[in-house]
Chain A
Amino acid sequence: MEWFNDFWSTYSTLVFTVGVHALLALSIWLTLSCGLLSLANAAFMGVGAYVAALLTVNLEWSFPAVLLAGAVTPALVALLIGAPVLRLSGVYLAMATLAFGEVVRITILNLEITGGPEGLNGIPLITEGWHIVLILAVTIYSLARLRRSKIGRAFEAIKEDEIAARLMGINVDRYKLLAFTLGAFIAGLAGALNAHFTFFISPREYGFENAVDILTMAVLGGTTTLIGPMLGGTILTLLPELLRSLHDFRSLVNGAVLILVVLFLPKGIWEPRRIRAFFGRNKGDQA
């Protein structure tokens, strides 16, 4: 067990980060599964992180209550802006959510209570491994159930062809709003968890680059299944660590990996059909 203690004390934060990134990737997977390209998830994560951290530091709420508030607040914001924003589609939606994200970031930057650009420090270490595992498990279970439910099928119909879905009598606007809001809920949860194991949050963690990072995780992993986004989140979190020995070339290789995956694995890394085909062929070879 000694090696485990050693490993854990070195890498626990990394493992936590993998979990949080998996949640974030799932949050954007949810909106993508309804055909929405939203880049607001980093901002929602930020809202969740700040709300949660402020409640812990100033009001000393209990952790479950803090987490709940950290998830519900961004969900409410999403509900509020969702109705007008979701009338847009495709790249226009992406740009509008991007602009919204910038507004959130700059607002945090200029508020007194958030500590402005200096950020919020001294957030106690509360998040434990099992918190993340439990929340991730519940999220996966719920999303898997959701996928197979009426709602999930409606999402898919909207994603495939919005007009057809509307003609079929699906209340497209309501379902889109649901996906957007639930995505914000999960992103906020991820933010709240993250704030309580990194001691510190600042507005620059929730900007444009981070929004793109989250999207990249989902697309890299593949969005056809729930496993894909989580795998993508894991890889993008671990890759810089694994490449640590490359020193100066690290980000170069990081960029190259991104390009290569897009070029050669069009549906992301985790694509059940291709993987089945691969193993199927191998079996065939052996026989």
Chain B
Amino acid sequence: MLEQQLLNALTLGSVYALFALGFTLVFGVLAVINLAHGAVFMVGSYAALAMVSHLNAPLWVAMLGAMLGSGIVGLLVDVLILKPLRARNAPHLAPMIATIGVGIMLTSSAQGLFGAEVLRFPEDILPAGEFLVGDVHVRALEIAIVAIAFLLMAVLFVTLKRTQLGRALRAIAESPKAAYLLGINVEGLFHVTSFVTAALGGIAGVLIGLNFNAITPQMGQPMLHKGIAVIILGGMGDIRGALIGGLFLGFAEVISKAYLSSQMGDAVAFGLLFLILLVRPSGLFGRKLERKA
């Protein structure tokens, strides 16, 4: 039983991590709590679904399409809304509230376009196949999800650590002003970040949509809550923290449901978060360094 639960936790945790990664990156670079990230996640799901069912696109094309689609949404939000707010140095609350508005608009547009009922990917496009490893039931789909999630996260890590772009982004995260003085195209990189993070949110939406097969306009909301929990756990704006925090939350949820009662699971999770914040505001896995929020 334990092995099965660990696999359950790994699948759940890697999707949480992927979602939270985008969420935390926006916070780290743009210093915005993007409350539309849940809706962007939902957009990814619908975009892939639309491509699969209306254009008969193969799944991998649909995935790329979903990343592009949600990425564009993220870019538009940045250009049309966040940029003007940055330009006039608006307080932190302003972009957060604007993103609430974006979330509402995206959710109601999705309902207008696709209806309120639960939609699903057609059965035949899913990677079929299921096998037993010892006592553990493993679906090919789960392996694909974990693989894609880790692949994307690896690409992101390497990009951030090893490339010029990554160094520039990290510089901005430390101080946008200093980065600007160093000759970094800060605005351009803000756009890039918005695109990439939204694309990551979108692909997370496709993966969740594939695995659990329930796409609704409201599907982003619970994910957003989880995302908030993850970035608190991992330390806000901390990339590695989001990865560890996502996996940790996945494991904590599954293990507490398996070995404690599933009744108070969420209360325990949020209670824990509350305590973590009191004891270690920089997150359980975060660096000691704190950005002044």
Contact = CB atoms under 8 A, between A and B. Distances in A.
Direct contact of A and B (CB under 8 A): yes
Interface of A: 37, 84-85, 87-92, 94-96, 98-100, 102-103, 106-107, 110, 208-209, 212, 215-216, 219-220, 248-252, 254-259, 262-263, 266
B35 A252 contact: no
A100 B278 contact: no
13 contacts: A90-B293, A95-B277, A96-B274, A103-B270, A103-B271, A212-B100, A215-B97, A216-B100, A249-B108, A256-B105, A259-B81, A262-B98, A263-B85
Interface in B75-108: 81, 84-85, 88, 90, 92-95, 97-98, 100-105, 107-108
Interface string B156-179: 000000000000000000000000
Given A88-B277, A209-B221, A251-B104, 17 more contacts: A88-B278, A90-B92, A91-B236, A92-B281, A94-B33, A95-B228, A96-B274, A102-B267, A208-B225, A251-B107, A252-B105, A255-B101, A255-B103, A256-B101, A259-B98, A259-B101, A266-B94
Contact of A110 (B84, B98, B225, B267): B267
Interface string B265-293: 01100110110011001000000000011
Contacts of A94: 33
B97 A92 contact: no
A266 B104 CA distance: 20
Contacts of A89: 293
A144 B239 CA distance: 45
A206 B100 CA distance: 17
Interface of B: 33, 35, 81, 84-85, 88, 90, 92-95, 97-98, 100-105, 107-109, 111-112, 221, 225, 228-229, 232, 236, 263-264, 266-267, 270-271, 273-274, 277-278, 281, 292-293
A37 B228 contact: no
Nearest to B101: A258
B65 to A, nearest CB: 24
Contacts of B108: 248-252, 255
Contacts of A107: 267
A272 to B, nearest CB: 18
Contacts of A92: 236, 277, 281, 293
Contacts of A263: 81, 84-85, 98
A216 B81 CA distance: 17
A99 B270 contact: yes
B292 A90 contact: yes
A249 B92 CA distance: 29
Contact of A95 (B94, B232, B267): B232
Contacts of A91: 33, 92, 236, 293
Given A89-B293, A96-B274, A96-B277, A259 B93 contact: no
Nearest to A107: B267
The 10 closest A-B pairs by CB, nearest first: A255-B104, A258-B101, A90-B293, A255-B105, A259-B101, A106-B267, A251-B108, A102-B270, A91-B293, A99-B274
A85 B111 CA distance: 39
Contacts of A100: 274
Contacts of B105: 251-252, 255-256, 259
Of B94, B107, B236, B263, most A-chain CB atoms within 10 Å: B94
Contacts of B81: 259, 262-263
A252 B267 CA distance: 33
A220 B103 contact: no
Given A96-B278, A99-B270, A251-B107, A258 B232 contact: no
B266 to A, nearest CB: 5
B289 to A, nearest CB: 14
Given A98-B228, A251-B108, A212 B35 contact: yes
Contacts of A258: 97-98, 100-101, 104
A106 B277 contact: no
Given A219-B93, A251-B104, A266-B94, A84 B267 contact: no
Contact of A254 (B104, B111, B271, B281): B104
A95 B273 CA distance: 9
Contacts of A266: 88, 90, 94
Of B84, B95, B100, B232, most A-chain CB atoms within 10 Å: B100
A85 B92 CA distance: 20
Contacts of B84: 263
A220 B97 contact: yes
A252 B92 contact: no
A216 B103 CA distance: 14
B104 A88 contact: no
Contacts of A215: 93, 97
B97 A106 contact: no
Contact of A37 (B93, B102, B225, B229): B93
Contact of B109 (A212, A252, A257): A252
Nearest to B221: A209
